[in-house]
Structure 1
């Protein structure tokens, strides 16, 4: 497992673990790493089978196997407690960890996540899988921003998207990996156990998310025993990238409120 450590290194520094979505890359969190590293020690990692992390995604391990990958990093770094922020699939990993190892998870930040996938999200993933299988990697990658970003943001960042597209094609995680990761997030369902997550949680969503209806975050916030909700009108699925100032401010305020 490849991971990076940023920010404070003193013994009193709280640790924040960052877990990205389907892309699996630590670099997804660049806006948060820059803003939050003066406050805490940040650990960001590439998911198994993506980026610089080796190995293969188990055929039937689901989100639990991905949570075990995080525990491998936790053991390596000898972390006794940590805050955990996850985007979409990364948020599911956070929920799994909070249920599996509540002694470790001090708090959760869940960005456009869910306790059970919405049928609309399933339709979106069906379309993406069909693009991959019938049109190939380039088409799959080219369509990805449509599910992540607002149209105006894409228009204003066309050059950036061109660079990201070329990079994503060169470093594509592979057909088997992406299909297994999609299967894992689609099968994840903890709705009947979400009330057992005792860790304080900040739930963040955007009303204009095309991929995951924001109502999934509303249900999360209502079901989690100790939650706060930040619902933005704009920002789409990758809201922490497109609206970093609002998200960073909310995350910092929340984390500081957890007492380090």
Structure 2
């Protein structure tokens, strides 16, 4: 396994696939790079694809609560780029990972070729807070097994869940065995709910793609649309089906959308 060392000495697991202009893929709440499995093969045909586990999660964890900020997580991406000797890369982030990409665009724009935010938000409203409060309460009262069992209800369309029950059941033991400490998950939830960049979003000059699914039941499309409207020049793409994890439900749709955007950015530069 390959690790980079972050600014504060934390170990960050990462792996690379393919060759070309680099792309860093940053996961959402779970933090594990395995979330991007449906993207890696196709993206790696044109790009150097870098996937990593957020500090405190998956293979970047040591079972101790972590003290991380959004700025610190942006610094973790920069540390991975430094380890690989890369000046800049495209950053693609799902939900929370997208927020981290935006923070990097606001604080270290020279490290970025572009940012793609998948089902993200610029400010948590009452609905989003309620969703995360429910998830946190499931974890507190019933533990990781119940949390993981409930997770598909927030991520996938109902029909997709029904049609993929065997797959979801088979994945559960692996997800539970790699589940972060409850203190880490709670700290991550609090950190991301507190994210509110306000007018700082207007300072972003990096090319930005914002994507959303109309049937996302966790981060409603209206929040993602509001985020796109707040970023000068941002490109907004919306799909009708796939819910919060449409990158996994309809990977060919997302992969094509992303590659077209990246090709436009790289061609312009």
TM-score range, shorter chain: over 0.9
CA distance in 2 between partners of 1:137 and 1:42 (Å) = 30
Shift, 1:57, TM fit = 5.5
Q: Which residue of 2 aligns with 1:71?
A: 78
| Structure 2 unaligned regions, length at least 5 | 1-11
Check if 1:7 corresponds to 2:14: no
1:129-144 alignment runs, 5 A limit: 129-144=136-151
1:153-192 alignment runs, 5 A limit: 153-192=160-199
Q: 1:232 aligns with which of 230, 233, 239?
A: 239
Shift, 1:191, TM fit = 2.3
Check if 1:212 corresponds to 2:234: no
1:235-254 alignment runs, 5 A limit: 235-254=242-261
SS at match of 1:152: helix
Normalization by structure 1: what TM-score? 0.95
Q: Which residue of 2 aligns with 1:38?
A: 45
Q: 2:106 aligns with which of 96, 99, 112?
A: 99
The alignment covers a number of residue pairs equal to 255
Deviation per CA, 1:65-94: give whole Å up to 9, x if none.
111111111111111111000000000100
CA distance in 2 between partners of 1:78 and 1:188 (Å) = 30
1:41-60 alignment runs, 5 A limit: 41-55=48-62, 56=64, 58-59=66-67
CA-based RMSD of the aligned residues comes to: 1.2
- Cα contact 2:78–2:111 (8 A) shared by 1: no
Shift, 1:235, TM fit = 0.6
Runs of 4+ in 1 over 2 A off after TM superposition: 54-59
Deviation per CA, 1:159-203: give whole Å up to 9, x if none.
110022121111111111101111111111112211111111111
Q: Which residue of 1 aligns with 2:29?
A: 22
Deviation per CA, 1:3-60: give whole Å up to 9, x if none.
010011xxxx21100000011111100111111111110100001111111355643x
Shift, 1:219, TM fit = 1.1
Check if 1:200 corresponds to 2:211: no
Deviation per CA, 1:103-155: give whole Å up to 9, x if none.
11110111001111122111011111111111122111110010000011111
- Cα contact 1:18–1:42 (8 A) shared by 2: yes
SS at match of 2:243: coil
